[in-house]
């Protein structure tokens, strides 16, 4: 039996990926990573069964573990302390509403002795990059995921911060007011798709397509996004004063289209914060979720888990 191995799982809006992690080194164990696309509109049992198919592949790589510890990087809304899904009116996994994963998921897993812990997916990403990524040597970090939604977390000395004078309520940014809505309305894939259609009359699938089109409308969209992001982040950076801001998520793959302008605009505000794009990507969230089984780390965060 090797209790120094845990399983980290990253649940996305349309996919799942998991790996076995060495709990001491936080290194991904080779040949234990598996992933699959998931239909987030499927029934409760189908979603759980398909999640379990992927997780079981990783479990089968570790035949000598008697107690299987699984950490989940999970999107919100979710009750992270209890493991109850609260997906409702958010166009994903709505058939899991009010479902207890610790009670229901083991029915589909291979094994009979499990321990589950849960953390917000953006927070898991932030913990991962602070432990093993480009923010490893930084005291204060803001991690931002730009994709289907706008994820974020605030890290200090490796620990997520969810309250404090210079930390926004809940330690997240997606729900904070911006212009005529909230930040998530402006810093997500759906904003790009909506805005490109408003300008061009052409329906696109996502940011990657806008980049490939590389036309006048693409230029306008990225310019507006840059201005919005700089305007929104300016007071956040001024308050928290991070050493570095780490970007992840699919939109960060197009960072060369917006980050130069964002940095330029922030510099005018005398904010010269370093921005980097994570080289870990999904692996960061897997590592962050596995970190939940570090006893010292868990004791510091378990009573302060982010709610969304």
- Asked whether the beta carbons of 126 and 231 are under 8 A apart, the reply is no
State the pLDDT at residue 1.
38
Beta-strand relationship, 181-182 and 177-178? antiparallel
CA distance 80 to 144: 20
Over 80: is that where the pLDDT of 33 sits? yes
CA distance 48 to 151: 24
Tell me: the pLDDT tens digits for 185-209? 999 999 999 999 999 999 999 999 9
Tell me: the pLDDT tens digits for 96-149? 999 999 999 999 999 888 999 999 999 999 999 998 877 787 899 999 999 888
Q: What is the mean pLDDT of the chain?
A: 91
Block residue for tokens 């990783």: 58
165 confidence band (pLDDT: 50, 70, 90) = confident
- Asked whether the beta carbons of 5 and 59 are under 8 A apart, the reply is no
The more confidently predicted of residues 14 and 231 is 231
Over 70: is that where the pLDDT of 2 sits? no
- Asked whether the beta carbons of 115 and 298 are under 8 A apart, the reply is no
What does the CA dihedral 174, 176, 182, 183 come to, rounded to 10 degrees? -50
**134-279 shares the fold of 5-121+292-304:** yes
Exposure of 95 in the CB half-sphere (CA atoms within 13 A): 11
Block residue for tokens 């904003």: 191
Question: Does the predicted TM-score (pTM) go above 0.75?
Answer: yes
C-alpha distances in Å from residue 307, one per residue of 106, 158, 198: 24, 19, 34
- Asked whether the beta carbons of 141 and 247 are under 8 A apart, the reply is no
State the pLDDT at residue 149.
86
Over 60: is that where the pLDDT of 307 sits? no
Q: What is the 3-class SS of the chain, one letter each residue?
A: CCCCEEEEEEECCCEEEEEEEECCCCCECCCCCEEEECCCCCCHHHHHHHHHHHHHHHHHCCCCCCCEEEEEEECCCEECCCCEECCCCCCCCHHHCCCEHHHHHHHHCCCCCEEEEEEEHHHHHHHHHHHHCCCCCCCEEEEEEECCCEEEEEEECCEECCCCCCCCHHHCCCCCEECCEEHHHHCCHHHHHHHHHHHHCCCCCCHHHHHHHCCHHHHHHHHHHHHHHHHHHHHHHHHHCCCEEEEECHHHHHHHHCHHHHHHHHHHCCCCCEEEECCCCHHHHHHHHHHHHCHHHHHHHHHHCCCC
Over 80: is that where the pLDDT of 308 sits? no
Domain boundaries, the chain: 5-121+292-304, 134-279
Q: Does domain 134-279 have CATH number 3.30.450.20?
A: no
Q: What architecture is domain 5-121+292-304?
A: 2-Layer Sandwich (3.30)
Share of the chain above pLDDT 70, in %: 98
298 confidence band (pLDDT: 50, 70, 90) = very high
Over 70: is that where the pLDDT of 7 sits? yes
* 235-252: average pLDDT: 94
* 265-291: average pLDDT: 91
* 224-231: average pLDDT: 98
């Amino acid at each position: 039996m090797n209790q120094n191995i845990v399983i980290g799982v990253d649940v996305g809006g349309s996919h799942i990926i998991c790996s076995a992690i060495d709990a001491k080194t936080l290194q991904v164990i080779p040949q234990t990573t598996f992933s699959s696309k998931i239909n987030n509109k499927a029934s409760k049992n189908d979603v759980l069964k398909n999640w379990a198919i992927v997780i079981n592949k990783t479990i089968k790589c570790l035949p000598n573990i008697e107690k299987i510890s699984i950490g989940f990087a999970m999107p919100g809304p979710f009750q992270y302390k209890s493991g109850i899904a609260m997906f409702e009116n958010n166009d994903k996994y709505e058939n899991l509403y009010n479902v207890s994963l610790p009670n229901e998921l083991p029915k589909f897993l291979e094994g009979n002795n499990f321990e589950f812990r849960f953390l917000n997916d953006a927070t898991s990403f932030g913990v991962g990059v602070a432990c093993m990524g480009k923010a490893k040597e930084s005291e204060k970090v803001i991690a931002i995921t730009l994709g289907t939604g706008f994820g974020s977390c605030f890290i200090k000395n490796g620990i997520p911060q969810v309250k404090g004078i210079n930390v926004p309520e809940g330690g997240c940014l997606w729900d904070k007011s911006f212009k005529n809505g909230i930040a998530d309305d402006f810093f997500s894939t759906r904003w790009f798709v909506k805005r490109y259609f408003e300008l061009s009359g052409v329906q696109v699938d996502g940011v990657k397509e806008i980049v490939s089109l590389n036309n006048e409308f693409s230029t306008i969209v990225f310019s507006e996004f840059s201005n919005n992001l700089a305007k929104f982040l300016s007071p956040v950076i001024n308050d928290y004063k991070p050493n570095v801001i780490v970007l992840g998520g699919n939109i960060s793959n197009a960072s060369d289209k917006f980050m130069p302008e964002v940095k330029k605009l922030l510099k005018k505000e005398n904010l010269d914060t370093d921005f980097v794009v994570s080289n870990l990507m999904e692996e960061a969230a897997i590592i962050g979720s596995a970190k939940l089984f570090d006893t010292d780390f868990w004791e510091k965060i378990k009573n302060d888990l982010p709610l969304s």
